[in-house]
Amino acid sequence: METNLWKKYKNNSDLERFCEGYKTFISDCKTERECIKYAIAAAEAAGYKSLRDLIKSGEKIKAGDKVYSVNMNKTMMLFCVGEKPIEDGINIIGAHIDSPRLDLKATPLYESVDFCMLDTHYYGGIKKYQWIATPLALHGVVIKKDGQAIEINIGDNEDDPVFCISDLLPHLDRKPENKFKEVNGEDLNLIAGTIPDDKAEKDKIKTNILNILKEKGIEEKDFFSAEIEVVPAGRARDLGLDRSMILGYGQDDRVCAYTSLMAALEVENPEYSTMCLLVDKEEIGSIGATGMHSQYFENALAEIMNIAGQYNELSLRRAMANSAMLSSDVTAAVDPNFMAPFNVATDAHFGKGLSLNKYTGAGGKSGANDANPEFIGWLRKVFDDADVTYQATEMGKVDEGGGGTIAYLMAKYGMNVIDAGVPVLNMHAPSEATCKVDIYEAYRAYKAFFASKRIK
Ligand code: MN
Ligand code: MN
């Protein structure tokens, strides 16, 4: 477990190709909806059929068949029917596709001194000062009253304008309350324009921006039925002189979402059924119709078992209880600049492969899904047999803090769950860093897990 994986993967063209695909994914997919759109196209190309279409046509499914289901354009399940009955359990891998960001408010536009501004409400755990004086893009959708959807994607094409939140110059921030670290939520306002519409009687600059929006079919009131996310502009890049790492937005948890999805696309005729879950709202507690708390997981599984001719209430409950799950979510990598909260001996390191957190939670394991040793013993064999390198880790020193994932929400069905993901530096910052060998090893680990023979 102590090996640095670069010994194995230096100049490995498969790894480089995989990571190029990953960089494209996180550069193009900066919202849940963009991730789902990508995943649907990839799933269909890999032979997955729409659950909704199958229900409509009455077509039945059998061992080896692949089905996908989408919930509200923000949650997705990819399922491959195993040779064994589904009630014998499913090998599940679940990642989240939401990332910390700023959201435009429902009434975002206002005018202040010489500017038109866009008001935001941040989403998830951000350090607010990191989001100011940096180029930002708007991604999302506006829904008109008649149901028409207008897609928004401004700031990521070369020719696009970008947005930014202004910051105070150092010359004027001598008072402690003006220091950058004192940024609060209501200060996170995007600068959107300075040209006035001289025909307007008041709010001339805001009116001019509304004129521009009108050309795109958007009116001020439409922001109420919109979901517009403010994300860092620009593409993911290689990090370091040796190009060993990747710097980009949204790697918590799209690095695990991508690796899980790629593993799911390659599943062929598994012995036990496989499921890949891509879920929303993890960063704000997994609540809501598209979060892991929702009944969506059970409902979609029931539908799939039904068209496989294997549904009844008891079989559904058995399927869930007999399942095994990798909660594929990132963990914190030991940081060379901020060593204090880390225990170097027990925390995750770049270059040492998939990170397995037996438990997360905070102080005294509070709120943790503490994985069972019987399950971990079996997993060790799965990974060792597939020559997968992994590290047994925690997240930070005891009592330094902590965090959660979707693991406990799946464990409530009585299934075995463990957190298994990629170590990340600068987690929740506009630019997060990962190490390429860890990404590739996570993908290999997820493939081995989907192919595994025994699940309990
Ligand atoms: Mn996460
Ligand atoms: Mn997170």
Name 57's Cβ contacts closer than 8 Å, sequence gap at least 6: none
For residue 254, which ligand has an atom nearest its CA? 1
Any domain includes 237? no
Q: Which residue has the tokens 């004027």?
A: 172
Neighbours of ion ligand 2 (CB under 5 A): 252
Any domain includes 240? no
CA of 100 from ligand 2 middle (Å) equals: 7
CA of 426 from ligand 1 middle (Å) equals: 13
CA of 166 from ligand 2 middle (Å) equals: 26
Same domain flag for 173 and 221: yes
CA of 234 from ligand 1 middle (Å) equals: 21
Same domain flag for 284 and 389: yes
CA of 178 from ligand 1 middle (Å) equals: 32
For residue 428, which ligand has an atom nearest its CA? 2
CA of 296 from ligand 1 middle (Å) equals: 20
Any domain includes 283? yes
Tokens describing residue 245: 């790492």
CA of 100 from ligand 1 middle (Å) equals: 9
CA of 329 from ligand 2 middle (Å) equals: 8
DSSP states of 251-278 as a string? HHHHHHHHHHHHHHHT--S-SSEEEEEE
Any domain includes 244? no
Query: Helices (DSSP H) in 322-435: which residue ranges?
Result: 373-385, 407-411
Among residues 165, 197, 232, the one where a domain terminates is 232
Same domain flag for 168 and 268: no
Same domain flag for 424 and 292: yes
Pick left, alpha or beta for residue 217 (phi over 0 → left; psi -120 to 50 → alpha; otherwise beta).
left
Q: How many domains does the chain have?
A: 2
CA of 58 from ligand 2 middle (Å) equals: 40
**For the chain, how far is it from start to end, CA to CA, in angstroms?**
24
Crossing angle for the helix pair 13-28 and 436-450, to the nearest 10 degrees: 90
Same domain flag for 155 and 11: no
For residue 284, which ligand has an atom nearest its CA? 2
Same domain flag for 82 and 48: yes
Same domain flag for 311 and 430: yes
Any domain includes 285? yes
Same domain flag for 87 and 115: no
pLDDT digits (tens, 9 = 90+) for 10-31: 999 999 999 999 999 999 999 9
Same domain flag for 89 and 59: yes
Same domain flag for 257 and 398: yes
Any domain includes 402? yes
Among residues 173, 207, 232, the one where a domain terminates is 232
Same domain flag for 42 and 106: no
Pick left, alpha or beta for residue 407 (phi over 0 → left; psi -120 to 50 → alpha; otherwise beta).
alpha
**The pLDDT value given to residue 181:** 57
Strand, coil or helix: 427: coil
**CATH number for 196:** 2.30.250.10
Contact status, residue 391 vs residue 348, Cβ threshold 8 Å = yes
For residue 95, which ligand has an atom nearest its CA? 1
Domain span including residue 189? 102-232
Q: Is 59 exposed, middle or buried (0-12, 13-18, 19+ CB in 10 A)?
A: exposed
CA of 253 from ligand 1 middle (Å) equals: 5
Same domain flag for 336 and 324: yes
CA of 241 from ligand 2 middle (Å) equals: 28
Any domain includes 241? no
pLDDT < 70 regions, the chain: 1-2, 177-181, 454-456
Any domain includes 242? no
Q: Other CB atoms closer than 10 Å to residue 127's CB: what's the count? A: 13
CA of 30 from ligand 2 middle (Å) equals: 14
CA of 97 from ligand 1 middle (Å) equals: 9
